[in-house]
Amino acid sequence: MLRPQGNNGMSAVIQPWEQMSGTAPMASGEPHRAIVCQPQGDITLSTFFAQVRGLAAHLPSGRYAINLCEDRYRFLLAFCAAAVRGQVTLLPPSRAPDVVDDVRATYPESYCLGDGAFAPPPQYWRLPEVLTEIDGDMPALDDATLVAIGFTSGSTGAPKPNPKTWGSFRTSTAQNLAALRDLWPAHATPHLVATVPPQHMYGMEMSVLLPLLGNAAVHASRPFFPEDVARALREAAAPRLLVTTPVHLRALVESGVGLPPLVGIVSATAPLPQALAAAAEQQFGCEVRELFGSTETCVIARRRTAQEHAWTLLPGVRLAPQPDGTLVHAAHLEAAVALADVIELEGHDRFHLRGRNTDLLEIAGKRASLGDLTRKLLAIPGVEDGVVFQLDEAGAAGVRRIAALVVAPTLSEAEIVAQLRAGIDPVFLPRPLRRVDALPRNETGKLPREALQALLRGGVQ
């Protein structure tokens, strides 16, 4: 499916989704190659699929399985076991009880499975501590098989389902491998450490599908604090690749923690500031490669943010600008997908991101974007975190107000507004602007819209 041409990993032939048919193995590589690394030792493909077959034989009945596993190895096991049983894995945008309940209500033929001892939701099945093994051939799936449904984060509204087939996952993984392959030496097996949960589509692509189909190994944990990330990287063999988010990367840079040699750092889920990318490259001695994508499209572009403003499309991806956003045509998509992102093309395979149509503001004949307003807020000395967003309800003049939440322990709200006033037209000044202890970021650093509005209603901290 993927035939590299030359040394540049971006030069590859990707087989289009509509041309894929028949069955394909659930993993690539020899039976003895490692798929998961952990302190107790690597787990090979042969052991992994013996446990997949054993787990599949004991799963509850049901059309859908909501995978809540914290341990990445057990998530991998449960995902593959569910697919072997013909069950579709549901990937909720959060493991919060209300979110899980909403997914269960939408998919009544579902059950939850996980590895935690937390207060279980209804119809919860916990993976056994001791995993049985059943020998057999490598499992294979038809490319048309629906294997997962991912949900958008809710940062721009209610989460929306996005079905994924095995064929589309195979093609998108080939594209991702083409985008990353030049980071590590030829014939080497990269060992990944990921801070993003596997339930998120970025985490699914980089820490589940890439180890399965890309001849990589992934650390079983999901480290959160800088010291935990460093420990997991030390437990992984070289060449090491860190898969993370801007929030986690900033914490790593600011902590001053030492990391073992890396071949690269991959970042996604939110815009990566160029200054942060440059600081990370200098501090950790490797390239920081930012990926651009969505739950709807999977990853579609990449760039070296410390040195580039333009994005490079992955093989098989084509963009068509629209008045209200962009149409994405890709080898792994059955049909074009419309995104709210506004782009400007540069040649046939590069583009500049100009914002989202939902971010664009027009008040009193003047224009601005929420993204640019947020960047100006974050540039104020003393502001540690912040976001500017537009409220749902309109004011007395019929205009939806602009609000802001700011983490700035050493500044007052009046001081923040005064700083903003120096660089922002008065019609776009946030009213209200609230100082808070922390923003309600989810596991990937995103800000669900409902959580922002609830925090704003909570008043000044």
* Residue 414 confidence (pLDDT): 92
Mean pLDDT of the residues in the chain = 87
Q: Sorting pLDDT into bands at 50, 70 and 90, what band is 375?
A: confident
Check pLDDT > 70 for residue 160. yes
Which fold does the domain 2-355 belong to in CATH?
Answer: Rossmann fold (3.40.50)
> What are the CA-CA distances from residue 377 to residues 50, 391, 423 (Å)?
53, 17, 10
Question: Which comes out higher in pLDDT, residue 324 or 120?
Answer: 324
What are the boundaries of each domain within the chain? 2-355, 360-457
* Residue 75 confidence (pLDDT): 96
In this predicted model, what pLDDT tens digit does every residue of 337-353 receive, in sequence order? 998 888 899 988 999 98
Query: Torsions phi, psi of 251, nearest 5?
Result: -65, -40
Mean pLDDT of 249-262: 94
* Residue 11 confidence (pLDDT): 40
* Residue 18 confidence (pLDDT): 47
Check pLDDT > 70 for residue 324. yes
* Residue 8 confidence (pLDDT): 40
* Residue 159 confidence (pLDDT): 73
Distance CA 305, CA 287 (A): 9
Q: Sorting pLDDT into bands at 50, 70 and 90, what band is 451?
A: confident
* Residue 395 confidence (pLDDT): 59
In this predicted model, what pLDDT tens digit does every residue of 172-200 receive, in sequence order? 999 999 899 999 998 899 999 999 999 99
- Give me the residues paired with residue 338 across strands: 327
Question: Which comes out higher in pLDDT, residue 427 or 237?
Answer: 237
Check pLDDT > 90 for residue 397. no
Distance CA 300, CA 341 (A): 13
Mean pLDDT of 313-341: 90
> Of 233-247, 389-403, 441-455, where does the model show the most confidence?
233-247
* Residue 460 confidence (pLDDT): 41
Is the entire prediction scored with pTM above 0.85? no
Q: Which two tokens stand for residue 38?
A: 């952990």
224-234 as b/e, with b when 16 or more CB fall inside 10 Å?
Answer: eebeebbbbbe
Query: Torsions phi, psi of 11, nearest 5?
Result: -90, 100
Architecture of the domain defined by 360-457: 2-Layer Sandwich (3.30)
* Residue 210 confidence (pLDDT): 96
* Residue 443 confidence (pLDDT): 75
